[in-house]
Amino acid sequence: MRVAIVAESFLPNVNGVTNSVLRVLEHLREEGHEAIVIAPGARDHQEEVPDYLGFPIVRVPTVKVPLIDSLPIGVPNATVYDTLSSFEPDVVHLASPFVLGASGAFASQQLDLPAVALYQADVAGFATKYHLAPLAAAAWDWTRTIHNLCQLTLAPSSLTIAELEDHGINNVHHWGRGVDAERFHPSKRSETLRRTWDPTGTKKVVGFVGRLAPEKGVHRLVSLAHRPDIQLVIVGDGPSMSDLQAELPTAIFTGALGGEDLARAYASLDLFVHAGEFETFCQAIQEAQASGVPTIGPRAGGPVDLIEEGVNGLLLNVSTFSADLPSAVDYLLDDCRHDTLRANARASIENKTWRALCEQLLGYYDQAIVAASTAPRSLLSRAVALPVRAARNFNAKVRELPRRHHRGEGVA
């Protein structure tokens, strides 16, 4: 099978979208398939990788976007259409399509190529969180247009599937995420590392791992910041770091970690907390569970499918998350149940391997190919008119915002 992946984000930027694409590419290589990746180019200070496992990476220019300027946005251009046309894939995989991925969806339809869209980012939710509420409705219009150009949409959680269907997106199926259960393992727990965080050896270590940005809700851990029996550890980097360091003055900020350093950090926690309500899946919760760490998450989005209350963690209401957090922490850290919770956390991911998930994905590719072969073809005018109209509506909403919210800062 020949697979073209149009990724909204990719190396050298590491995030949930990038990680899932890497795992898919690894499986495609193992199974002898061919692939190509179309992705945003690296920023000025980053080193660009030309291929991954021998699969070529075709880059497009990037721009800076205010408020999320740590994440480069790929600029759609003729490269997307030309690459798909010359590669002639059997299926196009759109990883979290919104800007670059949208051009992949339009090009796929114009070239009569089957397309599978993976919904991985709640853009409408982000718009609300970043005080851009007027964009939320337009974001849903745009998302619906993109995804309904594809044969299938894959979503990672039951709540996300329901939300997509409520907004008029068709042919939505479930595709979760695998986890590397060998890399993330309770055996990676390091007493040496724990002593660097807590030289007294008397505190429970509660942590967060992820991008430090407003939508992650890390500020909600403030209710734990001054407890003498708890050491907060924040793993990650991002635009909110300086603000969080001021809000959580007793916390240890490690910066971004990877590889074995990240695995040791996860396993050395006593409890993992993720407070952001905009996660379509929340892979960090799975990685913590694989490391044998009980988890707390919001009763929203992906965490609802990952956390079984009282078994491997707890879910808290978003509106009262910070106020409810201390008592939830006390419950999960109680010596009478903590070891059982740790064992349950690990057990909850035992069957969630990337191999199984990627085999399921190949099955979805086959479904899309069959659906495309039997569907009536749209007239070119209709195929073009729909995205153009949606794009105009979205751009009109952008122009209504105060200039400081949307003015570009130049090409990266």
Q: What is the pLDDT of residues 183-216, one digit of tens each?
A: 999 999 999 999 999 999 999 999 999 999 999 9
| Confidence (pLDDT) at 160 | 94
**Domain total of the chain:** 2
| Confidence (pLDDT) at 48 | 85
Domain closes at, from 350, 368, 395: 350
Q: What mean pLDDT comes out for the span 124-141?
A: 79
Would residue 289 count as lying in a domain? yes
Whether 380 and 259 map to the same domain: the answer is no
| Confidence (pLDDT) at 44 | 67
Whether 58 and 124 map to the same domain: the answer is yes
Whether 272 and 384 map to the same domain: the answer is no
Whether 339 and 371 map to the same domain: the answer is no
**The CATH number of the domain where 159 resides is what?**
3.40.50.2000
Whether 6 and 152 map to the same domain: the answer is yes
Whether 227 and 241 map to the same domain: the answer is yes
Whether 359 and 297 map to the same domain: the answer is no
Whether 166 and 277 map to the same domain: the answer is no
Whether 153 and 227 map to the same domain: the answer is no
| Confidence (pLDDT) at 179 | 95
Does the pLDDT value for residue 404 go beyond 50? no
Whether 261 and 311 map to the same domain: the answer is yes
Q: What mean pLDDT comes out for the span 279-307?
A: 97
Would residue 412 count as lying in a domain? no
Range of the domain at 202: 186-350
Whether 151 and 248 map to the same domain: the answer is no
Q: What mean pLDDT comes out for the span 256-261?
A: 95
Would residue 13 count as lying in a domain? yes
Q: Which residues contact 136 (CB under 8 A, 6 or more apart)?
A: 124, 125, 127, 128
Would residue 207 count as lying in a domain? yes
- CB count in 10 Å sphere of residue 95: 28
Average pLDDT along the chain: 90
